[in-house]
């Protein structure tokens, strides 16, 4: 490596194989024989640890670094790790990040003490650290114990030094975790350096860097007053990810974020009318909206998505439910927003997604790239309609779609005509996601079919479909089976 004046360093995992035998030493040291540090037991975590040490020793070559981004290994990510949407489909992240409006929200457990110390020493111009700073320690949940599992933590003293040496730094994630471990806190190194949101915001305000913050991921639940302070201190936020429910009154403050383009309100619950009031302020600029796992939204609030979000590209309603919403409500929203929609996730929702729903997608969503209709009652007819009109589709999620011909056709000839042939018209198709639990679909504990081929027939059809699509479609990669 040579001296570099780049202002952004994007670190992608996993590390090259030749780095796996590197033993981390002191940051900035040229020798790997310095005092050895405790490393995780798992081989994959060791690779990450060693790679962090390798990068730490080379950060002195980047004195003008402003943005440090850590990207985890995409192949190892769970569906929630993709940030904005629960897309457990191979290649979905690549498609999302190809969109110029997309704002990636990386989640990683990569940063180590050594790396943070090196950043503080060598990169005084640092503005953003896009990673979760954590310190390695053994942990367990209340119900299960993982003797060999580690997560990475970073000592608060090292994080505080990084803030002191890099006054322009604003971390992307605020995560004052409550301690889940059974053992009690024994020292200051067992908690994060930032103990509350107001302390964190006051540091940002003091250093005059609030207007530079573009995205924020809130792990903990924030009060109405804390959200008001966030909006006042970080007025130019373009992406916000709430991992916990919202306090009453919060949406009214979010309505003042005039630059907001991406919003994730996973599992939130807000009072009637507050959702519409929020969208009146920010809906026109929103490109991405995720409402996964909501259960309390009213029909009137939900329909306001179609009224105020005319530029929506990505809409995720995974596992969303409500006591009074109907199929007509989701149809209304799709009809109003469909012209710009590229991504739609309506898997496992309570909207009774069926062929009629797909007809609306066909009529109103010509730009659709990613469609997840898992756990729906869609049949081969609906699939054929999608294939005939939505020619740009690249990823299809069809897990637990029990009424599809791949599970219902009694003969392979019928299966080929009704299920395989329509898919051949999707020339840009990359991946199809199907269920790996075939026995559950074919009359198992969760099965719903009265007549079906046996599981060996279905596994044969999976293989046949995979082979045909890989041969016929230029960009097709594989069928992904979710277990």
User: pLDDT of 407-431, one tens digit each?
Assistant: 999 899 999 999 999 999 999 999 9
pLDDT tens, position by position, 173-228: 544 443 333 333 333 333 344 456 777 788 778 878 788 788 887 766 778 888 89
pLDDT tens, position by position, 437-452: 887 787 654 444 455 5
**Distance, CA of 297 to CA of 71 (rounded, Å):** 34
Structure tokens belonging to residue 89:
């489909």
Q: Domain-by-domain residue ranges, the chain? A: 1-72+108-195
Give residue 75's pLDDT band: very low, low, confident or very high (50, 70, 90): very low
Specify the residue for token string 């791949």. 406
Average pLDDT value for residue range 115-138: 71
pLDDT tens, position by position, 11-70: 554 444 444 333 333 333 333 333 444 444 445 456 666 777 788 888 888 888 887 776
Task: Supply the mean pLDDT for the chain.
Answer: 75
Order across the sheet with 128-130: list the strands: 8-12, 67-71, 128-130, 170-171
**Distance, CA of 302 to CA of 321 (rounded, Å):** 11
| Among 2-6, 89-93, 347-351, the range of highest mean pLDDT | 347-351
pLDDT of amino acid 48 = 63
Length of the chain: 483
pLDDT tens, position by position, 247-272: 888 888 999 999 999 998 877 777 77
pLDDT of amino acid 140 = 27
Question: Where does 58-126 show beta strands of DSSP type E?
Answer: 67-71
- H or E element at residue 9: strand 8-12
Average pLDDT value for residue range 344-372: 90
* 445 CB burial (10 A radius; 0-12, 13-18, 19+): exposed
Within 8 A by CB and 6+ apart from 17, the residues are none
Structure tokens belonging to residue 204:
């940002």
pLDDT of amino acid 77 = 40
**Distance, CA of 481 to CA of 435 (rounded, Å):** 5
* 391 CB burial (10 A radius; 0-12, 13-18, 19+): middle
**Distance, CA of 284 to CA of 307 (rounded, Å):** 9
Which pTM value belongs to this model? 0.78
What is the torsion angle, in degrees rounded to the nearest 10, for the CA atoms of residue 215, residue 120, residue 66 and residue 37?
Answer: -80
**Distance, CA of 196 to CA of 191 (rounded, Å):** 11
Within 8 A by CB and 6+ apart from 281, the residues are 254, 255, 256, 257, 258
Say which range, 139-148, 179-188, 279-288, has the weakest mean pLDDT.
Answer: 139-148
pLDDT of amino acid 82 = 41
Average pLDDT value for residue range 228-248: 86
- H or E element at residue 231: helix 224-233
pLDDT at 165 over 80: yes
Within 8 A by CB and 6+ apart from 335, the residues are 306, 360, 363, 364
pLDDT of amino acid 369 = 95
Cα–Cα distance list, 353 to 92, 234, 392 (Å): 22, 39, 21
Specify the residue for token string 């780049």. 6
Distance from chain centroid for Cα 50: 26
**Distance, CA of 308 to CA of 295 (rounded, Å):** 21
As a whole-number percent, the residues of the chain with pLDDT over 90 amount to 33
Average pLDDT value for residue range 71-77: 47
Within 8 A by CB and 6+ apart from 188, the residues are 156, 157
What is the torsion angle, in degrees rounded to the nearest 10, for the CA atoms of residue 216, residue 219, residue 225 and residue 228?
Answer: 10
pLDDT of amino acid 134 = 41
Average pLDDT value for residue range 382-396: 95
SS3 181: coil
pLDDT of amino acid 373 = 93
Give residue 244's pLDDT band: very low, low, confident or very high (50, 70, 90): confident
pLDDT of amino acid 28 = 33
Axis crossing angle, helix 224-233 with helix 197-207, rounded to the nearest 10:
20
pLDDT of amino acid 450 = 53
**Distance, CA of 324 to CA of 309 (rounded, Å):** 22
Conformation bin of residue 91: beta by default, left when phi > 0, alpha when psi is -120 to 50: left
Burial 130-150 (b: 16+ CB within 10 A, else e): bbbbbbbeebeeeeeeeeeeb
DSSP annotation of 403: T
Structure tokens belonging to residue 483:
């277990």
As a whole-number percent, the residues of the chain with pLDDT over 70 amount to 69
Give residue 131's pLDDT band: very low, low, confident or very high (50, 70, 90): low
């Amino acid at each position: 490596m040579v001296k570099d004046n780049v202002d952004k360093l994007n670190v992608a995992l996993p590390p090259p194989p030749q780095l796996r035998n590197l033993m981390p030493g002191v940051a900035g040291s040229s020798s790997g024989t310095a005092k050895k540090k405790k490393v995780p037991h798992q081989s994959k975590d060791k690779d990450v640890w060693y790679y962090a040490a390798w990068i730490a020793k080379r950060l002195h070559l980047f004195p003008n670094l402003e943005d440090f981004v850590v990207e985890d290994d995409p192949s190892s990510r769970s569906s929630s790790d993709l940030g904005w949407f629960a897309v457990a489909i191979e290649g979905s992240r690549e498609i999302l990040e190809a969109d110029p409006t997309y704002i990636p929200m990386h989640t990683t457990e990569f940063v180590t003490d050594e790396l943070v110390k090196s950043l503080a020493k060598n990169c005084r111009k640092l503005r953003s650290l896009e990673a979760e700073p954590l310190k390695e320690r053994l942990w367990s949940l209340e119900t299960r114990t993982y003797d060999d599992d580690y997560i990475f933590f970073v000592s608060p003293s090292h994080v505080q030094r990084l803030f002191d040496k890099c006054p322009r730094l604003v971390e992307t994630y605020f995560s004052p975790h409550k301690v889940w471990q059974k053992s009690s806190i024994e020292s200051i190194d067992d908690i994060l350096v930032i103990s509350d949101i107001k302390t964190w915001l006051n540091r940002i305000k003091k250093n005059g860097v609030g207007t530079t913050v573009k995205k924020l991921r809130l792990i903990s639940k924030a009060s109405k007053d804390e959200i008001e302070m966030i909006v006042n201190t970080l007025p130019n936020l373009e992406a916000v990810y709430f991992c916990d429910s919202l306090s009453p009154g919060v949406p009214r403050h979010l309505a003042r974020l005039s630059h907001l383009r991406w919003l994730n309100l996973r599992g939130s619950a807000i009072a009637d009318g507050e959702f519409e009031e929020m969208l009146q302020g920010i809906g026109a600029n929103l490109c991405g909206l995720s409402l996964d796992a909501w259960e309390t939204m009213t029909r009137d609030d939900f329909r306001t998505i179609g009224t105020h979000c005319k530029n929506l590209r990505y809409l995720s309603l995974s596992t969303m439910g409500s006591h009074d919403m109907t199929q007509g409500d989701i149809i209304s929203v799709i009809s109003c927003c469909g012209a710009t929609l590229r991504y739609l996730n309506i898997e496992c929702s309570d909207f009774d997604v069926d062929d009629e729903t797909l007809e609306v997608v066909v009529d109103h969503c010509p730009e659709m790239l990613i469609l997840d209709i898992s756990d729906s009652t869609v049949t081969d007819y609906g699939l054929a309609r999608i294939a005939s009109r939505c020619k740009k589709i690249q990823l299809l999620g069809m897990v637990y779609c029990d009424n599809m011909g791949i599970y219902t056709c009694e003969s392979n000839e019928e299966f080929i005509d009704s299920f395989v042939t329509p898919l051949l018209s999707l020339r840009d198709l990359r991946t199809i996601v199907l269920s790996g639990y075939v026995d559950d679909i074919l009359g198992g504990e969760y099965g719903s079919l009265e007549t079906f081929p046996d599981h060996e027939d279905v596994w044969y059809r999976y293989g046949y479909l995979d082979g045909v699509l890989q041969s016929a479609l230029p960009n097709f990669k594989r069928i992904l089976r979710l277990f």
